[in-house]
Structure 1
Amino acid sequence: MEFFNQILLSLDGMLGGAVWFPYVLLGVGLFFTLYLGFPQVRYFKHAWLVVTGKLDRKGMPGDTTHFQALTTALSGTVGTGNIGGVAFAIFLGGPAALFWMWATAFLGMTTKFVEVTLSHKYRVQTEDGTMAGGPMYYMDRRLNMKWLAIAFAIATVISSFGTGNLPQINNIAQGMQATFGLDPMLTGAVLAVLLALVILGGIRRIAKVTSKIVPLMSVLYVVGALAVIFYNLENIGPAFASVISDAFTGSAAAGGFLGATIAYAFNRGVNRGLFSNEAGQGSAPIAHASAKADEPVSEGMVSILEPFIDTIIICTLTGLVILSSGVWKEKFDNVFERADMQILAGTYSDQKEADKQQLYLYLNDATGHSVERYNGKVEVVSGKPLNRDFTVINARSVAEDVVFSVGSREDLFTGTLNIQDGRLEKDNIVVSGKSLIHSAQLTTQAFTRGYFGDYGQYIVSIGLLLFAFSTAIAWSYYGDRAMTYLLGPRSVMPYRVFYVAGFFWASFSDTTLVWNLAAVAIVVMTLPNLFGILLLRKEMKQTVKEYWDDYEKKTTEKS
């Protein structure tokens, strides 16, 4: 399994984690933005008219309303990425990362518009009477590339587990255990039953549930965020200023934060933004294919609103909460994850300018530093190291008050530790101390710095539960539409049963391998989809023209 995991990590490094990948995604969005004349701006108002149902006509084919299709797609994108993903981006790239998330969302609004319109245009009605659509259908029916459609559908099934299922319940279970002390298996069992009750009813029940959950969780999260933002109102102006200025200068060191280059912030901000709103991935078109509409462009316009709501509104609120509260540059007592920790040769301090400069270059993969990883032995007595010829770096910050334990924090270690290339050789050693934190843990701390005080953490926990649960619901639909394409409607029920079983299992299991598998599968979804919509660029432009010609004609006849 370790060998397989290393292969997945290598593939991800060459694909989604590669330098070129964000440029491809942004490049396609920029191309269509210019080619179609900034549709995310010109059609924004019209999109709201469509989603409210004011332009609907009776008898249109489909299973859900525009609003239900929007909330189903939003439930797939508004998830843990909005809580932990933004925090992770700021942790890595500083305030500038939020700017690049905005830029990604702005271009992603056009990408969503194109992929949803084309997928909706080539949707089909299945044997059971429901609508099925998505990139695999235009790849097959329009481009005559069945092999590409099959590859996309298989990747969608894998991603449904790796993106929408296993990591989501794993995050929920850990959050419920940390906040309320609930056993992960109990959390998994209860939510697996609720998930089954929802998804076994098909798209109509899924749409009804998500149309209730998405507005509820959004309002709850927004109220909690505003309670922090208004409490720290004097910091909002400087926070906005740093987001804009740092985008073109890089983020300077501040507190425990050691700084980030422009390139580093760009890469991390774009990555988090893209995987938060899923623009270009091809997942949202599957949800929108169910909408009652006889004009593909009208449903494409509804999808313009997704990156706006997901990233421009919700991710921005999360970012402002973190920046205005100041927690992103503070050190907190925590247990160090091995993936976040490394041990450097020599003694470094974030209070010395020369040391900060060396660490800045090292952590941002820049040249010109003399930092080396530690190789040697560390003598420890009652958890405290005796020799001082090394520095522990955790979460890209200089760790303080470092303690070594065995198995748990309470059982202090005494003896000799071997360090090889900056890593501990013993697997059972627990390292703790003060350092920066990231992901959902950082957002949780930020929500305690507002009018609700420590109770703010419960808003994050409940928000994480609702966000992640709704994501699992939406991705089950993406997976069952992919299974419908691959093996027909009869394969859907076995898939749903397996999906629920996996959901329960992941609540108490290590899903690292699945995360890495999903990272590769997402790219296998995204690249063919971007390639396909580029091939159909002329058809897209003509389809939009025909829509407006028809709309103006109907408007004239009414008047």
Structure 2
Amino acid sequence: MNVMEWINQINGWVWGFEMMLVFLAVGLYLTIRSGFIQFARIGVIFRETLGAIRERTLGSGGEISPFQATMIAMGATIGIGNIVGVTAAILAGGPGAIFWMWIAALVGMATKFAEATLAVHFRRQFADGSVSGGPMYYIARGLGLPWLGGLFAVFAAVAAFGIGNVVQVSAIAGTLETQLHIAPAWTGLLAGLVVAVVLAGGVRRIAYFAQALVPLMILFYLILAVAVLALNAAGIWPALRSIFESAFSLQAGFGGAVGVATIEMIKAGVGRGIFSNEAGLGSAAIAHAQAQVDHPVRQGFWGVMEVFVDSIVINTFTALVVLSTGAWMAGGTPYEVLGQGFGGIVSAQALLAVALALFAFTTLISWAFYGEESATFLFGEGIRWPYRLAYVVMAFVGGLGSFTTLIKLSDTMNGLMAIPNLIALVLLGGVVAKLTRGFFSGEPWTPPK
């Protein structure tokens, strides 16, 4: 067996149906341990997040605001998968895949709540006032298993070069070349330069970048989607009805004349939900750990909101565009289907290309931070600049080659990140429950030594 076959086998396992069930089971477990936080406290969550964006940050620790930390996290989770990936899920599993994507998101909210809460609780404070946190720290400090935290960090540091870098630059280059006739070499050059400038400023510059660009790209895409839906308003209700009818039909998918099995529909929907919002993978916790908050649960609320915006809002709008216009019925590649779905408005192809490029670019920047923090956990502060330089170089050349082996390896590493993270979430579920009870009973938070 050669290396590529070995990687493919592991990849098939970490992204297989059995692992999807594990993701859902852990999310359900954390939903119970947190007191059904995403349902019972939804009003509090909205008040503490969207209703408190402009409020002064609270507490010591962290270098950026809770909103900025969340924008870094959302910069990574909201990507081309929210547009192309959702379309691919519908083509593979039919409209019912969206229902199962929602289910994955609802339980994933509790998972992301736990990740963000634990990231703040177990983060490490340095003498210069900076902090570092994420799964590698709550595994090492919370479970007393630094080797397992190191394993997560290895997976994340390697995955960043593929799914966070080369995949994103390739997507930007391919889209801009097709729609705007911009040569990939120029795209790679621009991507490398911007990444270098942003990363040179550390987490604060990354935070300002994410705070400015992520809300803008979300608004831009939603306006584009609403414009399409306004022209196809009559198809919105049938689209919603098809999602629920198809979710419980044995012939739910498109898949030619016969359709696909229900199991394939569930795999398509749940898989897209997990890959889209990254709940359970642990990556977003690295960003949430940077927030200035007086209690970890406050940042946990932002974790819930992150999944809500990513999977319930953006993914749903994409699905409604694809379904209400009937574009999915014609088949073809996800890009072709998207082109048909958005084709009813002026300059749709160019605008969609801009949206895809923005989504991919924010992912590129956020994953640079994830990879750097992971490498720092393994090798210390001295690795930051060498890692940044290597990341910038890969961004330069990312649009010029296929890098098939690196992409497949990084995709596998991305899936493997979940194993140590999910183990920690289950074993630290009691800590999440205790912190949640303490927050709502007014107990002050004391970070562990």
Say yes or no: TM over 0.5.
yes
| CA deviation vs aligned residue, 1:145-179 (integer Å, no higher than 9, x gap) | 11101100000101111221110000100001100
SS at match of 2:442: helix
| In structure 2, distance between residues paired with 1:504 and 1:250 | 47
d(CA) in 2 for partners of 1:234, 1:49: 34
Q: 1:160 to 1:190 in 2, by over 3 A?
A: same
Partner of 2:3: 4
Aligned to 1:150: 150
> What displacement does 1:237 show?
1.0
> How far off is 1:82 after superposition?
0.5
In structure 2, the CA distance between the partners of 1:80 and 1:258, relative to structure 1 (3 Å rule), is farther
8 Å contact kept, 2:99–2:269: yes
Compared with structure 1, are the counterparts of its residues 244 and 552 closer, same or farther at alpha carbon in structure 2 (3 Å cutoff)? farther
Amino acid at match of 2:103: A
- Specify whether residues 324 and 543 from structure 1 end up closer, same or farther in structure 2 by C-alpha distance, changes over 3 A only: same
Residue in 2 aligned with 1:304? 304
Match of 1:544 among 436, 439, 442: 436
- Cα pair 2:57 2:66 within 8 Å, conserved: no
1:251-270 aligned at under 5 Å gives the runs: 251=251, 258-270=258-270
Higher RCO by CA contacts (8 Å cutoff, separation 6 or greater): 2
Paired letter, 1:484: T
1:171 aligns with 2:178: no
Point out where structure 1 has 5 or more consecutive residues left out of the alignment. Answer: 331-435, 554-559
The answer as to whether partners of 1:445 and 1:457 remain within 8 angstroms in 2 is: no
Aligned partners of 2:92 and 2:254 also within 8 Å: no
- For residues 57 and 69 of structure 1, the distance between their equivalents in structure 2, rounded to whole angstroms, comes to 12
Residue 478 of structure 1 deviates from its aligned partner by 0.6
Query: Which residue of structure 2 aligns with residue 75 of structure 1?
Result: 75
1:507 corresponds to which letter in structure 2? G
- 2:93·2:253 contact (CA, 8 Å) conserved in 1? no
Indicate conservation of the 8 Å contact 2:252/2:262, yes or no. no
For residue 333 of structure 2, what is the aligned residue in structure 1?
A: 438
- Give the TM-score, by structure 1 length: 0.76
Aligned partners of 1:151 and 1:95: how far apart in 2? 38
Larger radius of gyration: 1
| Aligned equivalent of 2:348 | 456
Which secondary structure state, in structure 2, belongs to the residue aligned with residue 6 of structure 1?
helix
Task: In structure 2, list runs of 5 or more residues that go unmatched.
Answer: none
Residue identity opposite 1:43 in structure 2: R
Give per-residue Cα distances to partners, 1:338-379, cap 9 Å, x unaligned: xxxxxxxxxxxxxxxxxxxxxxxxxxxxxxxxxxxxxxxxxx
Residue 35 of structure 1, aligned match among 7, 27, 33 = 33
Aligned position for 1:477 = 369
Per the TM alignment, residue 182 of structure 1 is displaced from its structure 2 partner at its CA by: 1.2
1:47-66 equivalences in 2 (<5 Å): 47-51=45-49, 52-53=52-53, 56=56, 60-66=60-66
Report if the CA contact (8 A) 1:155-1:522 is conserved: yes
- The one-letter amino acid of 2:3's match is F
Residue 110 of structure 1 aligns with which residue? 110
**Matching residue of 1:419:** none
Aligned match for 1:22, one of 20, 27, 32? 20
1:59 Cα offset (Å): 5.5
The answer to whether 1:290 aligns with 2:182 is no
Distance 1:525 1:121 in 2: 20
* CA distance in 1: counterparts of 2:57 and 2:20, whole angstroms: 40
Match for 1:10: what amino acid? Q
**Change beyond 3 A, Cα 1:500–1:254:** closer
Runs of 4+ aligned residues of structure 1 deviating over 6 Å after TM superposition are: none
- Mean Cα deviation higher: 122-131 or 19-28: 122-131
Q: Distance in 2 between matches of 1:524 and 1:165?
A: 18
Deviations 1:317-341 (Å, cap 9, x if unpaired)?
00000001111111xxxxxxxxxxx
Bigger shift: residues 523-532 or 41-50: 41-50
**Residue 241 (1) aligns with residue 241 (2):** yes
- The 3 A distance-change label for structure 1 pair 57 and 469 is closer
Aligned-residue offset at 1:19: 2.4
**Structure 1 residue 273, shift from structure 2 partner:** 0.9
Deviation at 1:494, TM superposition (A): 0.8
How many residues are paired up? 443
Corresponding position: 1:447 with 2:445: no
Per residue, is there more strand in 1 or in 2?
Answer: 1
Paired with 2:92 and 2:425, the residues of 1 have a C-alpha distance of: 32
CA contact (8 A) 1:220 1:459 kept: no
- Could you tell me how far 1:537 is from its partner in structure 2? 1.4
- Which has more helix, going by share of residues? 2
Q: Partner letter of residue 179 of structure 1?
A: Q
The TM-score normalised by the length of structure 2 is 0.95
Residue by residue over 1:41-79, the C-alpha shift from the partner in whole angstroms, topping out at 9 and shown as x without a partner, is 223222233332476555532111111111111001000
TM-fit CA distance, 1:36: 2.4
Cα distance in 1 for residues equivalent to 2:442 and 2:56: 14
